[in-house]
């Protein structure tokens, strides 16, 4: 059982150009967190992870707007003494140029259960980094160019990285609008990050690390016929270079959307072929209300789904979603308690919303 208590105090000047605040959050669990330490290696890797029944975070934040610049920052300290902080700015450098900069620092013993600040890792812990982003709209208004560069390092060991490590990621996207109804964009992303040279897990041996390079290519075409018809076609391709070996992955995705007033329909049909998990393809999927779906297309097979929304009355909405993976060259899916005999995995969701 989790019990959480928190509060927030905010100050702002008369024109709201400056804001500053103080936030506090306290969390208590009925049972203590205990790490499953089976070896000396485990004890070192998890040395700074959270243990115990209680945690709290105290933080300060500010926002300041000046002409075309917006500055922001936030810093917090957890019960362990670890510090987490972010700061940066968003600016309009010219009528057609937007710029963003963010620096982050999360101590290896900074513990927050509700933090979701920008970071390379899935949690705001054991990470330092700097992010630059820019968006340019040239004189030709039909063209847009966007890019970012992110540099990061991890001062302590991580899952399958038995040493302090670092890396970088950059992305570029060019979008062209043929009309209000049709646009196309091409995107390239390159990520370089350290990982264990030998990916086999070991309870006692610290593995040497090496740099892995992942490159993703994406081509997307959108077409919308007024309000009732939408067509989206996408091609995704990736390569992964590690330890002198290159693997690749591919996904072809076709979406169709219909808006018939009370009835809305979304359909997807996708083909995917990836050599390994490092080339898994992530593609956003539409889902029922307040749900988020972006599964990994991995292996060889087909992915399809149908999403229906029907407004039965002004106060009652119904959703129905059926999604399915059909894998090739597989007799089983997943393992252990999630093992499925066969090559098909499907899911069904039904949702209703009543307005009072």
Q: So what's the pLDDT on residue 108?
A: 95
**Tens digits of residue pLDDT in 204-216:** 678 889 999 999 9
Domain count, the chain: 1
**256 in a domain, yes or no?**
yes
Q: So what's the pLDDT on residue 199?
A: 59
CB 75 within 8 A of CB 60: yes
DSSP characters over 273-310:
EESSGGG-EE--B--STT--B--EE-SEEEEEEEEEEE
Q: So what's the pLDDT on residue 170?
A: 97
With CA atoms as reference, report the closest residue to 322 among 285, 281, 273, 283: 285
Residue with tokens 């006692």, as numbered in its chain: 204
With CA atoms as reference, report the closest residue to 131 among 84, 171, 76: 171
Measure the CA–CA gap between 215 and 272, rounded to whole angstroms.
Answer: 17
**10 in a domain, yes or no?**
no
Domain that holds residue 315: 245-356
**50 in a domain, yes or no?**
no
**312 in a domain, yes or no?**
yes
Measure the CA–CA gap between 337 and 314, rounded to whole angstroms.
Answer: 43
**CB-count burial class (<10 Å; 0-12, 13-18, 19+) for 36:** exposed
**303 in a domain, yes or no?**
yes
Residue with tokens 């982050």, as numbered in its chain: 104
**153 in a domain, yes or no?**
no
Which stretches in the chain have pLDDT values below 70?
37-40, 199-204, 336-337
Q: Rounded to two decimals, what is the model's pTM?
A: 0.87
Q: Which token pair is 110? A: 């900074």
**71 in a domain, yes or no?**
no
**Tens digits of residue pLDDT in 25-72:** 999 999 998 877 666 677 788 889 999 999 999 999 999 999 999 999
Region of 266 on the Ramachandran plot (φ > 0 left; ψ -120 to 50 alpha; else beta) = beta
Measure the CA–CA gap between 235 and 63, rounded to whole angstroms.
Answer: 40
Contacts of 347 (CB under 8 A, 6+ apart): 321, 322, 323, 324
With CA atoms as reference, report the closest residue to 247 among 272, 209, 273, 283: 273
Q: Any idea what the Cα angle at residue 177 is, between residues 147 and 97, rounded to 5°?
A: 40
**CB-count burial class (<10 Å; 0-12, 13-18, 19+) for 189:** middle
CB 238 within 8 A of CB 216: yes
Q: So what's the pLDDT on residue 37?
A: 66
Measure the CA–CA gap between 22 and 13, rounded to whole angstroms.
Answer: 16
**262 in a domain, yes or no?**
yes
Measure the CA–CA gap between 117 and 107, rounded to whole angstroms.
Answer: 14
Contacts of 197 (CB under 8 A, 6+ apart): 207, 208, 209, 210, 243
């Amino acid at each position: 059982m989790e019990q959480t208590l928190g509060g927030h105090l905010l100050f702002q000047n008369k024109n709201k150009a400056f804001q500053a605040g103080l936030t506090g959050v306290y969390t208590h669990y009925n049972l203590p967190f205990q790490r499953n330490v089976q070896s000396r290696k485990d004890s070192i890797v998890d040395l700074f992870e959270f243990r115990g029944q209680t945690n709290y975070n105290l933080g300060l934040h500010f926002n300041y707007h000046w002409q075309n610049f917006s500055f922001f920052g936030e810093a917090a300290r957890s019960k362990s003494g670890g510090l987490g902080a972010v700061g940066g700015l968003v600016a309009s450098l010219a009528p057609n140029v937007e710029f963003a900069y963010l620096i982050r620092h999360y101590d290896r013993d900074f513990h927050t259960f509700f933090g979701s600040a920008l970071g390379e890792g899935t949690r705001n812990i054991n990470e330092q980094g700097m992010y630059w982003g820019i968006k340019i709209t040239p004189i030709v208004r039909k063209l847009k160019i966007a890019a970012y560069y992110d540099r990061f390092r991890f001062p302590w060991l991580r899952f399958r990285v038995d040493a302090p490590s670092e890396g970088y990621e950059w992305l570029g996207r060019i979008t062209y609008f043929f009309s209000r109804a049709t646009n196309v964009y091409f995107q390239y992303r390159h990520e370089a990050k350290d990982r264990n040279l030998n990916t086999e897990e070991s309870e006692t041996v610290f593995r040497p690390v090496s740099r892995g390079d992942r490159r993703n290519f994406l081509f997307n075409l959108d077409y919308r016929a007024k309000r009732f018809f939408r067509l989206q076609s996408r091609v995704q391709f990736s390569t992964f270079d590690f330890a002198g070996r290159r693997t690749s992955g591919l996904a072809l995705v076709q979406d169709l959307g219909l808006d018939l007033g009370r009835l809305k329909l979304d359909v997807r049909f996708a083909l995917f072929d990836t050599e390994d998990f490092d080339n898994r393809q992530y593609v956003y999927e539409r889902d029922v209300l307040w749900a988020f779906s972006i599964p990994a297309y991995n292996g060889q097979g087909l992915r399809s789904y149908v999403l229906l929304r029907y407004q039965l009355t002004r106060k009652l909405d119904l959703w129905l979603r059926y999604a399915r993976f059909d894998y090739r060259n597989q007799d089983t899916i997943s393992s252990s308690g999630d093992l499925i005999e066969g090559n098909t995995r499907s899911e069904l969701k039904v949702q209703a919303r009543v307005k009072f």
